[in-house]
């Protein structure tokens, strides 16, 4: 049996991170060593993203950069994930630095393909695996924060998005398997549920089972808090709102990707919601759960977006006052319907609009942050910031890696514990204070 030292570079979203953890779980199952020092790795796995052209360039760049280690211990490079899944026809003959190519559901082929590569040379094993079984994972996040990927693929057919062509149709993982996986993760302060669209969980089985899944995960003693990401607005139902309001384990936070607020652009995007629907949803959420934090994402510069529609998005930000937002310039992706739309906007103009949106959100966020000065917040400790000589953590309205953080001083603090922190000053996205006590 192949016994090598493995390293990994995992790119892209948190859903891809979970896929990478499953690959490392397969390495562990075969009794091989895993290192975070790439110079020691004999086999380097590059877990790629292909959502946007920039992500594809980053993925190929990571393979080329990894190839430089061949002068040392490195013997093989495995290219896996979304990039080979979608583009293997072009990728395999061109990216000769890769020795083994696997798709998104080919974890089971890692070792057979590697063994064949050592014997015969380069191997294309895309599509030859046994599917997306919920196999053992090697957790790569902090021990107290873990992700649970509840589905793969997508039902939605947004005109700008390649995901259905890469990941296929929406596929919910069986609830019994998800509950076993969540229970196997050990003590978890914050379990973050992810999928391309978490709120549609179970619909491919015939009936939406998302709230039922939340109730059952909440019964697990090892899970203290649950955070929900990627909740599509039209599926944030009254039932879900009630569960979020009454379930003490659910963090009062929703990530609801909108992508735009103007009806004409939303129709061109293939989005199902409309501006008045969004207004009504946010009004209801804040009436039912006053402390809720809402995060969203917007795309700037979609084909034919006018200056008036761009200004309307700025006004919508000021109206709704989201706690956190992400903004992206529209990326023209081949094989998507939006690629052929008239009125493509120059890259410089798209970036200009993104910057304007960020400036507006920064103003809104700073006002929100200033409202916390002098107050005491519950903060999860995520670790130590050695450059600032203080601890770093997050309030409930801050999701890891995508929102701001809380920097705080304390005589001592333990990662994964919760502290009362009095806020003394703020930045646009971050808070600063001192710990009063551990909860």
Judge whether residue 197 has pLDDT over 90.
yes
Kindly report the number of other CB atoms within 10 A of residue 239's CB atom. 12
Half-sphere exposure of 262 (CA within 13 A, CB side): 19
Mean pLDDT computed over 268-288: 96
User: Which CATH number applies to 376-438?
Assistant: 2.40.50.140
Q: Which residues are 194's β-sheet partners?
A: 149
Judge whether residue 55 has pLDDT over 70.
yes
pLDDT of residue 156: 87
Residue 132: band (very low, low, confident or very high) from pLDDT cuts 50, 70, 90: low
Judge whether residue 437 has pLDDT over 90.
no
Q: What CA–CA distance (Å, rounded) separates 223 from 186?
A: 8
> Dihedrals φ, ψ of 289, to 5°?
-135, 80
For the chain, give the number of residues: 439
Judge whether residue 22 has pLDDT over 80.
yes
Rounded percentage of the chain residues whose pLDDT exceeds 70: 99
Q: What CA–CA distance (Å, rounded) separates 221 from 224?
A: 7
pLDDT of residue 135: 77
Q: pLDDT tens, 83-109?
A: 999 999 999 999 999 999 999 999 999
Q: What CA–CA distance (Å, rounded) separates 341 from 347?
A: 16
Q: What CA–CA distance (Å, rounded) separates 325 from 255?
A: 9
What are the domain boundaries of the chain?
Answer: 5-124, 145-370, 376-438
pLDDT of residue 136: 86
Question: Is 145-370 the same fold as 5-124?
Answer: no
Mean pLDDT computed over 230-252: 96
Exposed (0-12), middle (13-18) or buried (19+): which is 93, by Cβ within 10 Å? exposed
pLDDT of residue 33: 96
Q: pLDDT tens, 30-46?
A: 999 999 999 999 999 99
Mean pLDDT computed over 213-242: 97
What's 310-329 look like in SS3? HHHHHHHHHHHCCCEEEEEE
Identify whether the C-beta of residue 364 lies closer than 8 Å to the C-beta of residue 322: yes
Identify whether the C-beta of residue 259 lies closer than 8 Å to the C-beta of residue 269: yes
Architecture of domain 145-370: Alpha-Beta Horseshoe (3.80)
Place of tokens 């903004």: 327
Q: What is the largest CA-CA distance in the chain?
A: 66
Identify whether the C-beta of residue 224 lies closer than 8 Å to the C-beta of residue 190: yes
Kindly report the number of other CB atoms within 10 A of residue 258's CB atom. 23
Judge whether residue 438 has pLDDT over 70.
no
CA distance readout (Å), 105 to 7, 19, 23, 110, 153: 20, 9, 10, 11, 11
Mean pLDDT computed over 68-79: 95
Q: Whole-model pTM?
A: 0.93
User: Number of helices (H) and strands (E), helices first, in the chain?
Assistant: 12, 19
pLDDT of residue 293: 96
Average pLDDT, the chain: 94
Place of tokens 């996986």: 181
Rg (alpha carbons) of the chain, rounded to whole number: 22
Q: What CA–CA distance (Å, rounded) separates 73 from 426?
A: 47
Identify whether the C-beta of residue 397 lies closer than 8 Å to the C-beta of residue 422: no
SS3 state of residue 237:
coil
Strand order across the 145-149 sheet: 145-149, 188-194, 223-228, 250-255, 293-300, 324-329
SS3 state of residue 229:
coil
Judge whether residue 1 has pLDDT over 80.
no
Q: Which residues are 293's β-sheet partners?
A: 253
Q: pLDDT tens, 290-342?
A: 999 999 999 999 999 999 999 999 999 999 999 999 999 999 999 999 999 99
pLDDT of residue 142: 86
Mean pLDDT computed over 418-427: 94
Judge whether residue 439 has pLDDT over 70.
no
Mean pLDDT computed over 244-261: 97
Strand order across the 5-10 sheet: 33-34, 5-10, 43-48, 76-81, 100-101, 123-124
Identify whether the C-beta of residue 393 lies closer than 8 Å to the C-beta of residue 379: yes
pLDDT of residue 157: 87
Residue 281 DSSP class = H
CATH number of this structure's domain 5-124, picked from the four choices 1.10.1060.10, 3.40.1190.20, 3.40.50.12160, 3.40.50.2300: 3.40.50.12160
């Amino acid at each position: 049996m192949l016994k090598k030292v493995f390293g990994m570079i995992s790119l892209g979203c948190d859903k891809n991170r979970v896929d990478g953890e499953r690959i490392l779980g397969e390495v562990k199952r075969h009794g091989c060593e895993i290192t975070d020092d790439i110079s020691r790795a004999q086999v380097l796995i590059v877990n790629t993203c292909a959502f946007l052209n920039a992500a594809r360039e980053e993925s190929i760049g990571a393979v080329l950069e990894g190839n430089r280690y061949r002068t040392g211990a490195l013997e093989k490079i495995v290219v896996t994930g979304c990039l080979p899944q979608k583009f293997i026809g072009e990728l395999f003959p061109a990216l000769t630095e890769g020795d083994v190519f696997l798709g998104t559901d080919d974890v089971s082929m890692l070792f057979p393909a590697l063994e064949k590569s050592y014997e015969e040379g380069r191997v294309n094993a895309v599509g030859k695996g046994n599917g997306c079984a919920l196999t053992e994972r090697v957790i790569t996040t902090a021990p107290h924060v873990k992700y649970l990927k509840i589905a793969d693929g997508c039902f939605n057919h947004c005109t700008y998005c390649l995901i259905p062509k890469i990941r296929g149709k929406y596929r919910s993982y069986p609830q019994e398997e998800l509950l076993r996986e969540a229970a196997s993760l050990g003590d978890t302060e914050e379990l973050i549920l992810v999928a391309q669209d978490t709120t549609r969980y179970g619909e491919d089985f015939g009936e939406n089972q998302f709230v039922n899944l939340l109730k059952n995960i909440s019964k697990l003693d090892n899970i203290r808090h649950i955070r929900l990401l990627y909740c599509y607005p039209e599926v944030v139902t009254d039932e879900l709102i009630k569960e979020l309001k009454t379930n003490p384990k659910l963090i009062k936070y929703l990530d609801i990707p909108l992508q735009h607020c103007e009806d004409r652009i939303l129709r061109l995007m293939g989005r199902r919601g409309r501006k008045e629907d969004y207004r009504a949803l946010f009004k209801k959420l804040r009436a039912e759960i006053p402390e809720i934090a809402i995060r969203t994402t917007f795309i700037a510069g979609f084909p034919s977006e006018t200056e008036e529609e761009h200004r309307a998005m700025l006004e919508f930000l000021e109206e709704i006052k989201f706690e956190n937002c992400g903004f992206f310039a529209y990326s023209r992706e081949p094989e998507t319907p939006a690629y052929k739309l008239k009125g493509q906007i120059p890259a410089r103009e798209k970036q200009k609009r993104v910057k304007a949106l960020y400036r507006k959100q920064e103003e809104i966020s700073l006002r929100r942050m200033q409202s916390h000065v002098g107050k005491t917040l519950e903060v999860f400790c995520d670790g130590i910031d050695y450059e600032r000589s203080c601890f770093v953590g997050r309030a409930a309205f801050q999701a890891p890696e995508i929102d701001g953080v809380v920097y705080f001083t304390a005589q001592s603090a333990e990662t994964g514990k919760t502290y009362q922190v009095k806020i003394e000053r703020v930045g646009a996205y971050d808070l600063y204070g001192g710990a009063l006590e551990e909860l």
